[in-house]
Structure 1
Amino acid sequence: MDEESPDGLLFKDHDFSSDLLRQLNGLRQSRILTDVSICAGAWEVPCHRNVLASSSPYFRAMFCSNFRESSEPKVQLKGLDSATLERIILYVYTGEAHITAETVLPLMEAASMLQYPRLLEACSSFLQSQLAPSNCLGVIRLSEIFSCETLRKKAREVALTYFPEVAASADLKELRALELRDYLGDDGLCAEEEKVFEALMVWIKHDLQTRKQYIQELFKQVRLQYVHPAFFYHFIANDALLQSSPPCQTILETAKRQMFSLYSTTSAPDLQPLWHVPPRNSYQDFLILLGGRKDNQQTTRDVLLYDGQTGQWQSLAKLPARLYKASAVTLHHSVYLLGGMAVGTGNSVPSPKVYIFSLKFNQWRLGQPMLAARYSHRSTAHKNFIFSIGGIGEGHEVMGSMERYDSICNVWERMASMPLGVLHPAVAVKDQRLYLFGGEDIMQNPVRLIQVYHISRNTWFKMETRMIKNVCAPAVVLGERIVIVGGYTRRILSYDPQSNKFVKCADMKDRRMHHGATVMGNKLYVTGGRHLTTDCSIEDSASFDCYDPETDTWTSQGQLPHKLFDHACLTLRCIPHPSTIP
Structure 2
Amino acid sequence: MQWDESSSDSDGAEVAFQLNPCKILNQLRQSGQLTDALIKVENQSFPIHRAIMSACSPYFRALFTNELFHTDRREVVIPGVSADIMKMIIDYAYTLKIKVRPDNVEALLPAADQFNVMGVVKACCDFLTSELTPENCIGIYKFAKAYFCHNLERNSFRVLMQDFITVAKDSSEFLQLTANELCDILSHDELNVRNEELVFDAVLRWIDWEPERRKSSIPKLMRSIRLGLLTTQYFVEKVKTHPYVKESDECKPIIIETLKFLYDLDMEEDKAVDLTSPLARPRVPHELLFVVGGWSGGSPTNIVETYDTRADKWVVSDAMDTGPRAYHGTACIGHMIYIIGGFDGMEYFNSVRCFDAINKTWSEVSPMNAKRCYVSVTLLDGLIYALGGYDGHTRQSSAERYFPRKNQWSLIQPMNHQRSDASAACHDNRIYICGGFNGAECLSHAECYDPRANQWTMLTPMRNRRSGVGVIAYRDHIYALGGFNGISRMNSGERLNPVTNTWTPVADMYSPRSNFALEVLDDMIFVIGGFNGMTTIFNVECYDGCTDEWYDASDMNIYRSALSACVVTGLPNILDYISTDRETERGRKSRLHTAKLNE
TM-score relative to the length of structure 2? 0.49
Q: d(CA) in 2 for partners of 1:387 and 1:349?
A: 22
Go from structure 1 to structure 2 and tell me whether the alpha carbon gap of 1:407 and 1:578 turns closer, same or farther (over 3 Å shift). closer
Deviation at 1:480, TM superposition (A): 1.1
Go from structure 1 to structure 2 and tell me whether the alpha carbon gap of 1:337 and 1:575 turns closer, same or farther (over 3 Å shift). same
Correspondence for 1:508: 509
Correspondence for 2:336: 334
Correspondence for 2:420: 423
**Contact 1:379-1:387 at 8 Å conserved across structures:** yes
Go from structure 1 to structure 2 and tell me whether the alpha carbon gap of 1:508 and 1:353 turns closer, same or farther (over 3 Å shift). same
Go from structure 1 to structure 2 and tell me whether the alpha carbon gap of 1:306 and 1:373 turns closer, same or farther (over 3 Å shift). same
Q: d(CA) in 2 for partners of 1:351 and 1:310?
A: 36
Go from structure 1 to structure 2 and tell me whether the alpha carbon gap of 1:466 and 1:412 turns closer, same or farther (over 3 Å shift). closer
Correspondence for 2:387: 389
Correspondence for 2:290: 288
Deviations along 1:295-335, one digit per CA (max 9) or x if unpaired, are x3211110001111222222221123122322111122321
Correspondence for 1:493: 494
Q: d(CA) in 2 for partners of 1:370 and 1:223?
A: 37
In structure 2, runs of 5+ residues without a counterpart are 1-97, 133-189, 193-283, 484-488, 579-599
Correspondence for 1:527: 528
RMSD, aligned α-carbons: 3.1
Letter in 2 for 1:527: I
Q: d(CA) in 1 for partners of 2:531 and 2:131?
A: 42
Q: d(CA) in 1 for partners of 2:326 and 2:471?
A: 20
SS of alignment partner, residue 380 of structure 1: strand
Q: 1:12-411 counterparts in 2 under 5 A? A: 210-214=117-121, 216-222=123-129, 284-294=286-296, 296-316=297-317, 317-343=319-345, 348-393=346-391, 396-411=393-408
SS of alignment partner, residue 564 of structure 1: coil
Q: d(CA) in 2 for partners of 1:466 and 1:314?
A: 36
TM-score relative to the length of structure 1? 0.50
Correspondence for 1:549: 545
Correspondence for 1:440: 437
Deviation at 1:493, TM superposition (A): 0.9
Q: d(CA) in 2 for partners of 1:540 and 1:341?
A: 17
Deviation at 1:292, TM superposition (A): 0.8
Go from structure 1 to structure 2 and tell me whether the alpha carbon gap of 1:579 and 1:479 turns closer, same or farther (over 3 Å shift). closer
Report which structure shows greater RCO (CA 8 Å, sep ≥6).
Answer: 2
Letter in 2 for 1:414: L
Q: d(CA) in 1 for partners of 2:493 and 2:523?
A: 16
**Contact 1:390-1:398 at 8 Å conserved across structures:** yes
Go from structure 1 to structure 2 and tell me whether the alpha carbon gap of 1:449 and 1:518 turns closer, same or farther (over 3 Å shift). same
Correspondence for 2:535: 539
> Identity over aligned residues, as a percent?
20
Deviations along 1:483-506, one digit per CA (max 9) or x if unpaired, are 111113221112111121222111
SS of alignment partner, residue 381 of structure 1: strand
**Contact 2:355-2:363 at 8 Å conserved across structures:** yes
Q: d(CA) in 2 for partners of 1:435 and 1:523?
A: 20
Deviation at 1:405, TM superposition (A): 0.6
Which protein shows a greater Rg? 1
Letter in 2 for 1:301: N
Correspondence for 2:459: 463
Equivalenced residues, count: 317
In structure 1, runs of 5+ residues without a counterpart are 1-176, 186-199, 226-278, 533-537
**Contact 1:377-1:391 at 8 Å conserved across structures:** yes
SS of alignment partner, residue 217 of structure 1: helix
Deviation at 1:529, TM superposition (A): 1.1
Deviation at 1:464, TM superposition (A): 4.4
1:478 aligns with 2:474: yes
Go from structure 1 to structure 2 and tell me whether the alpha carbon gap of 1:461 and 1:329 turns closer, same or farther (over 3 Å shift). same
Letter in 1 for 2:425: A
Q: d(CA) in 1 for partners of 2:320 and 2:408?
A: 26
Deviation at 1:336, TM superposition (A): 0.5
SS of alignment partner, residue 554 of structure 2: strand
Go from structure 1 to structure 2 and tell me whether the alpha carbon gap of 1:309 and 1:466 turns closer, same or farther (over 3 Å shift). closer
Correspondence for 1:559: 555
Deviations along 1:22-45, one digit per CA (max 9) or x if unpaired, are xxxxxxxxxxxxxxxxxxxxxxxx
Correspondence for 1:234: none
Go from structure 1 to structure 2 and tell me whether the alpha carbon gap of 1:219 and 1:542 turns closer, same or farther (over 3 Å shift). same
